[in-house]
């Protein structure tokens, strides 16, 4: 087990290195000048070429590409992700500040996805071809086909503008407080709905497979109560493929957070990434991508380990 | 629970709610669109919306309001033309937020900090003309220029004065403004609290929250939901609707020019002229900008001292555009409705930002070009990529908006070859000479002559097509009273704003 973990962590190192290198060079290939965002806004006589040159030198953008790359890698190995061109602040500090918000949003969305998805999947499987099944699958269809940005705006129109129940956007600190939860509900639901839909469909089909197994019939024949059969015997086995999907969905949620954070003005890494990409803020983009890559790799490792816990047949050679 | 214990608790709850309402009523929230929030270092802000924060936390030497200079940290000033030296007498009894009194040294430090070549601030370009700043007394500052600029005082609009000891490496410098920073979440929100010792009198509103909302739809919705009191740079399509709904729309605009930028190296003069005749400015104004602004025919503001009425400029005349194209050999020989020249098909690269009215304007331009047989293809990209494309010449036509200072009332500096935003791709010495002449003399007749000639050349050669003088707007909840916006759109004098019911 320990050897497995060490091996996977080494792989993770290679993955992160590959991602950073790829992002560095692809950003350089893309057109755009980060300096344009530092000059007086869009003209007015103060944006001289001399000032642009001074700003380029300040951020090392006047160096040849290979030198910029080597310099960047050297810094990263020392744990320094550089300075954001747009904000002038340390990228490491920015990520430390923003990461909790993204993690909070992603975990809340994942919790919604798991609870809503599993519940509707189980209910659908127990009422196969009944109205609940159809309702549940319509929900799943809507969940995967409704774009994040549309769902977010619809929720805002209903719950903020019409009903006035929830704040339209923003975030307040204090995880767990009612005020913080009010700000979290809509972005988390927007982000989690698609994953909930996927999980619902998967749980439904896995449950239908498991419910027809001999051991479930035996459990029923023994006179066990319905919820014991469903929860203890059927669901536990049906959840095996779901765990893998949850791991993958976590990655999708991190990606989806980019949109949800923008719509709901949620101060997380996703929004930071979008701003940094559009501003061609190289160090910030690289830092944010690295943060997301590391998270994704670690979550997948966690999922693999969880597999062994849930399914005793799985062992790590 | 007995009724007797229930009543006091109910009363307590009501009192608590009333108290909370009273507390929130003392706070206003200002929101801006875009993803990048303001900095709490006043000198680092480079966008108009972010400069509202700088205005609240720091002061400049003087103010430019309604075409007049008013005292701020400087109470009087004079200019010696022989030595190109401005002398400023500073206000007595002013203290920074950290309690340190304002001195001439702080002003000198602030100017040098902005100009520092190792880490220049956005205002460095304006201060390039400053040769030296020196303290000649505890409250007297001299600023020596290396060239004459009759509008130099105006260019000090973003030279916010900060306290030297607070601006150490990595620290956020403090100013003398009516509000102090009490909370800062970058790109998210800044909480500002009243500075009781403000030299202009303590602010009426104790707390101001400045938020950054990237999505413009959300921005407007927040105002309508009542969670935000003022939104900056409201999308044009929403300004009139919100105003009709009882909100207070505050349009502004000095030298805000929307133009069709033309690549002077890929488009020959006749083709450029035809393009300028082919565009209906009224349709662009009404459709893309909800009528907020005026058609623009030349680069000088109509009715201003810089405007030359003899230069009439371009207006919508598609027949003239067709005549020019025919005469220049751009004709449709294949009968497909598109013009060719010398058997070569023509398809112009119309670059556009992909957001809001920029894209809509580009689509309208494309339609008008189609009406006269000019084929074009729109390529949309996000802001930085678009700017890069037009700056480096990878375009034929581009919709472009630049804001400029209110003085001189002529849109001209972007045509200078030393200007970052010069997108014509064909720097011209004659234009440089006229721009330098216009800003390098105090002789009004000479300035008028230079700007008149500049207008004539820009139109005759169709260096680009002037299209609109754009008005932009901030929109506020009517409970917010006394809101002040200057010609550039910077919110100011927030300490005099009040809250109604």
What would the pLDDT profile of B89-126 be if each residue is shown by its tens digit?
Answer: 999 999 999 999 999 999 999 999 999 988 889 899 88
pLDDT at residue A315, as a whole number: 61
Any residues with CB less than 8 A from the CB of B358 and at least 6 apart, and which? B352, B399, B401
Chain A residue nearest residue B413, CA to CA: A45
| pTM assigned to the model | 0.80
Q: Smallest Cβ distance to B187: which of A41, A49, A275?
A: A275
Q: Which A residues 2-21 touch B at CB under 8 Å? A: none
Q: Which A residues 256-275 touch B at CB under 8 Å? A: 262-265, 267, 271-272, 274-275
Q: Which residue has the higher pLDDT, B194 or A250?
A: B194
Q: Is the pLDDT of residue B351 over 50?
A: yes
Encoded tokens for A120: 């509707």
Q: Is the pLDDT of residue A149 over 90?
A: no
Return the C-alpha torsion angle B65, B71, B76, B79, nearest 10.
-30
Scan for tokens 């109910």, then name that residue: B10
Question: What one-character-per-residue DSSP string does A234-266 give?
Answer: IIHHHHHHHHHHHHHHHHHHHHHHHHHHHHTT-
Query: What whole-number distance in Å separates Cα of residue A281 and Cα of residue A87?
Result: 9
Chain A residue nearest residue B222, CA to CA: A168
Q: Is the peptide bond before B408 cis (omega within 30 degrees of 0)?
A: yes
Q: Is the pLDDT of residue B21 over 80?
A: no
Q: Is B481 exposed, middle or buried (0-12, 13-18, 19+ CB in 10 A)?
A: middle
Query: What whole-number distance in Å separates Cα of residue A288 and Cα of residue A81?
Result: 10
The whole-angstrom distance between A63's CA and the closest CA on chain B is 15
Return the C-alpha torsion angle B67, B71, B72, B76, nearest 10.
140
pLDDT at residue B480, as a whole number: 95
State the DSSP code for B415.
G
Query: What whole-number distance in Å separates Cα of residue B285 and Cα of residue B469?
Result: 9
- Say whether A42 and B382 touch across the interface (CB within 8 A): no
pLDDT at residue A314, as a whole number: 65
pLDDT at residue B38, as a whole number: 87
A46 touches chain B (CB under 8 A): yes
Identify from A29, A35, A36, A47 which residue to disrupt to test chain B contact, counting B C-beta atoms within 10 A and taking the largest count.
Answer: A47
- Say whether A50 and B128 touch across the interface (CB within 8 A): yes
Q: Smallest Cβ distance to A51: which of B120, B381, B392?
A: B120
- Say whether B187 and A51 touch across the interface (CB within 8 A): no
State the DSSP code for B301.
P
pLDDT at residue B180, as a whole number: 97
Q: Do residues B178 and B198 lie in contact, with contact meaning Cβ atoms separated by under 8 Å?
A: yes
Computed over every residue of chain A, the mean pLDDT equals 83
Residue (of B51, B354, B357) closest to B234 by Cα position:
B357
Q: How far is CA B10 from the centre of its chain?
A: 51
Q: Which A residues 201-230 touch B at CB under 8 Å? A: none
Q: Is the pLDDT of residue A79 over 60?
A: yes
Encoded tokens for B297: 């025919």
Question: What one-character-per-residue DSSP string does B118-185 give?
Answer: TS--GGGGGGGGEEEEEEEETTEEEEEESS--TTHHHHGGG--B--GGGG-TTPPP---SSEEEEEEE
Chain A residue nearest residue B384, CA to CA: A32
Residue positions counted in chain A:
317
Q: Is the pLDDT of residue B418 over 80?
A: yes
Tell me what the mean pLDDT of segment A277-282 comes to: 82
What would the pLDDT profile of A199-214 be if each residue is shown by its tens digit?
Answer: 888 888 888 888 777 7
Residue (of A40, A80, A22) closest to A293 by Cα position:
A22
Residues from chain A contacting residue B387 (CB–CB below 8 Å): 32-33, 36
- Say whether B46 and A44 touch across the interface (CB within 8 A): no
Q: Is A80 exposed, middle or buried (0-12, 13-18, 19+ CB in 10 A)?
A: middle
Q: Is the pLDDT of residue A49 over 70?
A: yes
- Say whether B382 and A55 touch across the interface (CB within 8 A): no
Query: What whole-number distance in Å separates Cα of residue B30 and Cα of residue B484?
Result: 13
Q: How far is CA B99 from the centre of its chain?
A: 32
A61 touches chain B (CB under 8 A): no
Q: Do residues B110 and B161 lie in contact, with contact meaning Cβ atoms separated by under 8 Å?
A: yes
Identify from A29, A39, A40, A269 which residue to disrupt to test chain B contact, counting B C-beta atoms within 10 A and taking the largest count.
Answer: A40
pLDDT at residue B54, as a whole number: 96
Confidence of residue B252 (pLDDT cuts 50, 70, 90): very high
- Please give the C-alpha separations between residue B418 and each of A58, B150, B263, B413, B441, in angstroms, as whole numbers: 20, 20, 17, 9, 19
What would the pLDDT profile of B140-187 be if each residue is shown by its tens digit?
Answer: 999 999 999 999 999 899 999 999 999 887 788 999 999 999 998 888
Query: What whole-number distance in Å separates Cα of residue B84 and Cα of residue B301?
Result: 29
The phi and psi torsions of A190 (rounded to 5 degrees) equal -60, -45
Question: What 3-state class would DSSP assign to B209?
Answer: strand
Please report the number of interchain residue pairs, chain A to chain B, with beta-carbon separation below 8 angstroms: 169
Q: How far is CA A45 from the centre of its chain?
A: 43
Tell me what the mean pLDDT of segment A294-306 comes to: 81
Q: Which residue has the higher pLDDT, B247 or A80?
A: B247
A43 touches chain B (CB under 8 A): yes
């Amino acid at each position: 087990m320990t050897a497995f973990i060490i091996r996977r962590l080494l792989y993770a190192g290679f993955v992160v290195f590959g991602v950073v290198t790829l992002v560095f060079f692809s950003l350089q290939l893309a057109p755009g000048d980060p300096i344009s965002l530092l000059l007086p806004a869009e003209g007015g006589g103060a944006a001289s070429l001399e000032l642009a040159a001074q700003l380029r030198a300040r951020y090392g953008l006047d160096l040849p590409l290979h030198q910029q790359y080597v310099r960047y890698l050297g810094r990263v190995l020392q744990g320094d992700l550089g300075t954001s061109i747009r904000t002038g602040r340390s990228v490491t500090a920015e990520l430390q500040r923003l990461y909790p918000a993204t993690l909070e949003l992603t975990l809340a969305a994942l919790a919604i996805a798991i609870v809503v998805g599993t519940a509707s999947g189980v209910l659908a499987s127990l009422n196969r071809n009944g109205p609940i099944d159809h309702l549940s699958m319509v929900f799943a269809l809507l969940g995967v086909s409704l774009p994040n940005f549309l769902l977010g705006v619809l929720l805002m129109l209903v719950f903020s503008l019409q009903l006035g129940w929830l704040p339209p956007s923003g975030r307040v600190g204090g995880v767990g407080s009612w005020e913080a939860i009010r700000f979290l509900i809509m972005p988390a639901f927007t982000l989690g709905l698609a994953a909930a839909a996927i999980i619902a469909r998967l749980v439904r089909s896995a449950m239908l497979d498991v419910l027809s197994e001999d051991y479930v019939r035996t459990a029923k024949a023994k006179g066990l109560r319905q919820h014991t059969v469903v929860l203890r015997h059927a669901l536990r086995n049906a959840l095996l493929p779901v765990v893998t999907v949850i791991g993958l969905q976590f990655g999708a949620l991190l990606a989806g957070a980019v949109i949800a954070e923008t719509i709901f003005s949620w101060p997380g890494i996703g929004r930071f990434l979008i701003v940094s990409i559009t501003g061609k803020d190289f160090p910030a983009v690289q830092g944010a991508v690295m943060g997301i890559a590391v998270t994704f790799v670690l979550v997948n490792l966690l999922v693999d380990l969880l597999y062994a816990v849930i399914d005793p047949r799985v062992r790590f050679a | 629970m007995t009724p007797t214990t229930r009543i006091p608790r109910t009363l307590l709850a009501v009192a608590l709610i009333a108290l909370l309402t009273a507390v929130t009523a003392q706070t206003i929230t200002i929101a801006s669109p875009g993803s990048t929030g303001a900095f709490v270092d006043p000198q680092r802000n480079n966008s108009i919306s972010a400069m509202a924060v700088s205005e609240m936390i720091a002061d400049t030497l003087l103010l430019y309001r309604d075409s007049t200079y008013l005292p701020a940290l400087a109470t009087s000033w004079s200019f010696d033309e022989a030595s190109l030296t401005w002398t400023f007498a500073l206000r007595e009894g002013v203290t920074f937020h950290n309690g340190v009194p304002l001195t001439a040294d702080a002003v000198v430090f602030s100017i040098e900090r902005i100009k520092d070549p190792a880490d220049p601030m956005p205002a460095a370009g304006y201060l390039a003309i400053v040769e030296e700043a020196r303290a000649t007394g505890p409250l007297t500052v001299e600023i020596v220029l290396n060239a004459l600029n009759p509008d130099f005082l105006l260019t000090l609009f973003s030279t916010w004065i900060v306290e030297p000891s607070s601006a150490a490496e990595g620290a956020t410098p403090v100013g003398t403004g009516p509000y102090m920073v009490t909370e800062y979440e970058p790109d998210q929100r800044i909480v500002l609290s009243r500075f009781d010792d403000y030299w202009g009198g303590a602010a009426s509103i104790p707390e101001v929250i400045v938020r950054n909302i990237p999505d413009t739809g959300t921005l407007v919705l927040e105002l309508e939901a009542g969670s935000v009191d003022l939104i900056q740079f409201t999308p044009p399509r929403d300004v009139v609707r919100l105003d009709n709904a009882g909100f207070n729309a505050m349009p502004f605009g000095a030298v805000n020019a929307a133009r069709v930028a033309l690549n002077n190296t890929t488009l020959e003069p006749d083709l450029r002229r035809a393009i300028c005749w082919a565009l209906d400015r009224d349709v662009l104004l009404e459709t893309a900008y909800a009528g907020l602004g005026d058609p623009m025919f030349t680069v000088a503001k109509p009715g201003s001292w810089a405007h030359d009425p003899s230069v009439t400029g371009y207006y919508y005349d598609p027949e003239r555009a067709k005549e020019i194209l025919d005469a220049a050999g751009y004709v449709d020989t294949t009968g497909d409705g598109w013009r060719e020249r010398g058997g070569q098909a023509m398809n112009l690269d119309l670059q556009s930002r992909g957001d809001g009215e920029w894209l809509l304007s580009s689509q309208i331009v494309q339609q008008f070009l189609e009406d006269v047989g000019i084929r074009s293809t729109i390529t949309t990209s996000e802001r930085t990529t678009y700017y890069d494309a037009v700056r480096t010449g990878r375009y034929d036509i581009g919709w472009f908006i630049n804001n400029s200072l209110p003085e001189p009332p002529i849109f001209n500096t972007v045509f200078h070859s030393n200007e970052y935003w010069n997108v014509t791709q064909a720097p011209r010495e004659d234009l440089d000479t006229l721009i330098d002449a216009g800003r390098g003399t105090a002789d009004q007749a000479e300035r008028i002559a230079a700007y008149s000639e500049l207008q004539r050349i820009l139109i005759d050669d169709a260096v680009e097509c002037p299209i609109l003088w754009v008005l932009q707007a901030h929109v506020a909840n009517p409970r917010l009273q006394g809101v002040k916006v200057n010609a550039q759109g910077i919110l100011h004098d927030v300490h005099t704003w009040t809250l109604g019911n």
